[in-house]
Structure 1
Amino acid sequence: MAMFKTDPVRPAEYRAFERPLPEWFRGSALGIFVHWGPYSVPAWAEPTGELGAVPREEWYAHNPYAEWYANTIRIEGSPAHRHQQEVHGGAPYDDFLDQWKAEEFDADEVLAVVAATGAGYFIPTTKHHDGVTLWDAPATDGRNTVARGPQRDLIAEFADATRARGLRFGVYYSGGLDWHFSDLPPIDRDDAPAPDDLAYAEYAHDHVIDLIDRYRPDILWGDIRWPQAGIEPGPKSLAHAFQEFYDAVPEGVVNDRWGESHWDFRTSEYVHGTAVEVGEAWENCRGIGLSFGHNRNEGPEHLLTADEAVRLLVDVVSRGGNLLLNIGLEASGRIPDAQRQTLEGLGEWNQRFGHAVFGARPEPRLQPSDEPWVRWTRTDGAVHAVTDQPGSIRLSDPDRLLDESSARIGDLPVPASRDGDAIVVEVADAATPVAISFRPRD
């Protein structure tokens, strides 16, 4: 699969889809992801660590992703299996679908919070690995949120609210896994079998075509891979789905988790797959916590603070990427309070300093630093140093690229002087990182 590989190869039949990355995506800097499903009812996982930091031999039985609950509870001896027996009496997973009511869900309210972050796009899960669809998808035989649980087309509500706020709308679809359709054993290792047959490939193809026809998404965000039987060209192949997508949405983009087929941009996840974070066509995704789905076991120590989210966003943008930051909605449809605080704090920072990230490019001639923490970006006519150190700051500028007399924070000039290979800037005490902007000499 192309996912996380440093040297994926497009098959000849997919090369026709190659084209420059649309500027709207490249300049967005920030997208917001939402994971929401029946797994939000138990909302349970072990907060063991970030993907890429937990040993692979421990990952599946001790999975920190609450959205993997349907798999983890089937691994004998896992803490999730014990939890399901002790708390839920070993009930079938689909009981959670019927218990999921989304009684407090207001898509407009969720998107108001999302839009306030400054994000350029929004992507909800339409079908995760449990196979439950959040719209009335073809051939699901009522195993969807229109027929059961919320009894609503949640994707339509998300799409309408997203576009009403002026954001681009994307859809997440798990093509590589479907634990309900495939009826395979639980995944307990990296090389566990996944559905590759033609029946599943055509089923998934029809779902993607339906998403395109109904919602005209700007982003197709696949996950894990695509069934191998659907890669070869044909009337229900992935190539056909991509052609339908680009015909309907010429400025649309797709990620790299559709098997080794085609992609417009690469993706990393938490600290896993970071070797693909090169150039200016990549995106890092992660939750505010250690899980994408809502996890009641997560405390403040597991969540990004607003300042940490700011530093992550700036770091990603300074290296040429976008950040896709995830919310795990509660079963009721509410944004958890702690996650909302992070989003609101990120939005407040972006209101003041978003000029340093939105539409920004890396400035490779100036080097980042961790002591003090400094990251560099560039926009038309300005170079920005983002730092979280107050007081007197030395910014290395050995090639004298910057005009020190032009130093500003927002609209206000700040004292700055040249000292050999550095510019010394005096920054008042601040509770959050600041962006110091300069006029370049070139």
Structure 2
Amino acid sequence: MKPLQLLLAALLCAVPLSATHAESSGDYVPETDPLVLRKLEQWQDWKFGFMMHWGPYSQWGVVESWSICSEDVDWCKRPEGEAYVDYVERYEQLPTTFNPVKFDPELWAKIAKDAGTKYVVFTTKHHDGFNMFDTRQGDYRITAPDVPFHANPRADVTKEVFDAFRAQDFGIGAYFSKPDWHSDDYWSPRWATPNRHNNYDTRKHPDIWKRFVDFTHAQVDELTSRYGPVDILWLDGGWVRPTDTMDDVADGNAGVPWPQDIDMPALAVLARRNQPGLIVVDRAVGGRYENYRTPEQKIPEEPLPYPWETCMTLGDSWSYTPNDNYKSARSVVQMLVDVVAKGGNYLLNVGPDANGELPPVAVQRLQEIGAWMKVNGEAIYASRSVAPYRDGKFRYTRLKDGTVHAFYLPDTDETELPATLRIPGPAPAGGAEVKLLGDEAPLAWHRDGDATVVEIPASLRKQAANAYAWVFRLPGAVASN
């Protein structure tokens, strides 16, 4: 990496994925389409997803898109001494050197599958407007003649990613940015670009805005008609919304008084005509087209009364950053357990590098997570929340057959289970065999008040030492459904 690139990587830090609060302030509106409801139920069975932020910005190891936004906030920094317009000009030339010759989507899919994830969400276009798919709506795309990678037989990256993950039985999610900072109909060259919003009053210039809406619909049409079965349309950029939903979440750090209404009713109809049952996630907007909600980089304190998904980075950054600070496998597993116990899904993000490779440290973490999932996944997949959800170090999930799994989350210095463990909460059915996942030997147990007291032999305690979390199967603890 060149010295200037290293400087950029140091200056441009991680950023919230939408750089706004990713929670909606309005009421959740339940879906009524039976096909969408069926898909949501399937999505809730998957529980654990894999996300990737990738684009030409990965060459510099900088935050995705946000360095070309001129807001005076930490995540929009540029190198000292360089004029904004000069920086944007250089940034927009990044595609002309983007040649990820080590791109191997089958390997990505294998790594993600071995980690235990069940669905993928891939950035087909981020806010900078560069298309990682073969759009016919413009030339700022991975398959354009001035992009070195365009001659590669795998140049239509989105197609290759979707095909490779679909071959491994993954659910397929298309991340798509509603704002497009490269579009002259969003950031018009007639005016300055003071913030993330479109830079003209849509009430004064409805013709320009209509062109942008038509462009957006055409691209979503492409993604949902030309790329095989798609399960989730994951829309980012929550400040692009109609007037009647505007609030301080939509305003971000520099609000505008005009609406940015891209006609979500028509967009959803179009997308679902191509993909019946498609889950639409209009992040942070609320209403009919936010089929599930996406708390970002955090886990709610309590279960939420609607479908939801915590999206979180494995490192500190959404996109590739050299020497990123990756979370431990133990930390990720325990967060996954906490999310699932509260009824949510967990979407874990890794940013591939400029060559198209997943960083080795991230791959190692994913392998470690996968080893735990191979033993304990039955307590995660197709589970739902069950009271009391959590109690001290314990978390709980239930299966449709009435089995409850109790997770014991050890402290960092706790390497072995105690010889006698009191599990508060749901009681196993009389005569049921209580087991520690990963071992088939039934454990001696009895009820004492509101707790299941389990005796754990020394040999099993030693055998199961150093787990990120221990999981006990409690058959028949709730009525089957």
Distance 2:444 2:263 in 1: 61
Could you tell me which of 402, 405, 429 is aligned with 1:384?
405
Report what 2:79 is aligned to. 82
Where do 4+ consecutive residues of structure 1 move more than 6 Å?
Answer: 14-18, 76-79, 191-195, 229-232
Amino acid at match of 2:23: F
- 1:405 deviation in Å? 5.7
Distance 2:318 2:365 in 1: 15
Q: Contact conserved, 1:362 with 1:376, CA < 8 A, in 2? A: yes
Identity %: 25
Please give the secondary structure, in 2, of the residue aligned with 1:108.
helix
Report what 1:243 is aligned to. 269
User: Residues 353-372 of structure 1: matches in 2 within 5 Å?
Assistant: 353-364=376-387, 366-370=388-392
Q: 1:195 and 1:255, CA in 2 relative to 1: closer, same or farther beyond 3 A?
A: farther
Q: Contact conserved, 1:31 with 1:123, CA < 8 A, in 2? A: yes
Q: 1:103 and 1:194, CA in 2 relative to 1: closer, same or farther beyond 3 A?
A: farther
Distance 1:292 1:346 in 2: 19
- 1:7 deviation in Å? 2.3
Q: Contact conserved, 1:124 with 1:172, CA < 8 A, in 2? A: yes
Unaligned runs of 5+ in 2: 1-19, 203-208, 246-261, 411-415
Distance 1:388 1:35 in 2: 30
Report what 1:288 is aligned to. 314
Could you tell me which of 37, 40, 56 is aligned with 1:20?
37
Distance 1:394 1:30 in 2: 28
User: Residues 119-158 of structure 1: matches in 2 within 5 Å?
Assistant: 119-140=117-138, 142-147=139-144, 148-151=147-150, 152-158=155-161
Deviation readout 1:142-164 (Å, 9 max, x if unpaired) = 21100124211101101110111
Distance 1:99 1:84 in 2: 24
Distance 1:227 1:76 in 2: 20
Report what 2:292 is aligned to. 265
Could you tell me which of 433, 447, 451 is aligned with 1:418?
447
Deviation readout 1:236-281 (Å, 9 max, x if unpaired) = 8432221122233223211132845512211110128x48961351
Report what 1:210 is aligned to. 222
Amino acid at match of 2:128: D
> Which one has the bigger strand percentage?
1
Q: 1:277 and 1:245, CA in 2 relative to 1: closer, same or farther beyond 3 A?
A: farther
Please give the secondary structure, in 1, of the residue aligned with 2:78.
helix
Please give the secondary structure, in 1, of the residue aligned with 2:358.
coil
Amino acid at match of 1:185: T
Deviation readout 1:204-239 (Å, 9 max, x if unpaired) = 11111110111141110001237447999xxx8432
- 1:136 deviation in Å? 2.0
Larger radius of gyration: 2
Amino acid at match of 1:282: W
Amino acid at match of 1:137: T
Amino acid at match of 2:379: A
Q: Is 1:439 matched with 2:475?
A: yes
Amino acid at match of 1:162: F
- 1:398 deviation in Å? 5.6
Q: Contact conserved, 1:2 with 1:260, CA < 8 A, in 2? A: no
Q: Is 1:374 matched with 2:374?
A: no
Q: Is 1:219 matched with 2:238?
A: no
Q: Contact conserved, 1:3 with 1:267, CA < 8 A, in 2? A: yes
Deviation readout 1:390-414 (Å, 9 max, x if unpaired) = 3226444366456586220233323
Amino acid at match of 1:428: R
Could you tell me which of 143, 167, 178 is aligned with 1:175?
178
- 1:385 deviation in Å? 0.9
User: Residues 155-170 of structure 1: matches in 2 within 5 Å?
Assistant: 155-170=158-173
Q: Is 1:325 matched with 2:348?
A: yes
TM score, norm. by length of structure 2 = 0.75
Report what 1:62 is aligned to. none
Distance 1:68 1:17 in 2: 37
Report what 2:56 is aligned to. 38
- 1:133 deviation in Å? 0.2
Could you tell me which of 112, 115, 123 is aligned with 1:114?
112
Could you tell me which of 47, 51, 56 is aligned with 1:29?
47
Deviation readout 1:19-65 (Å, 9 max, x if unpaired) = 53522111010111110011111113xxxxxxxxxxxxxxxxxxxxx
Please give the secondary structure, in 2, of the residue aligned with 1:284.
strand
Q: 1:75 and 1:6, CA in 2 relative to 1: closer, same or farther beyond 3 A?
A: closer
Amino acid at match of 1:306: A
Amino acid at match of 2:238: R
Distance 2:358 2:337 in 1: 24
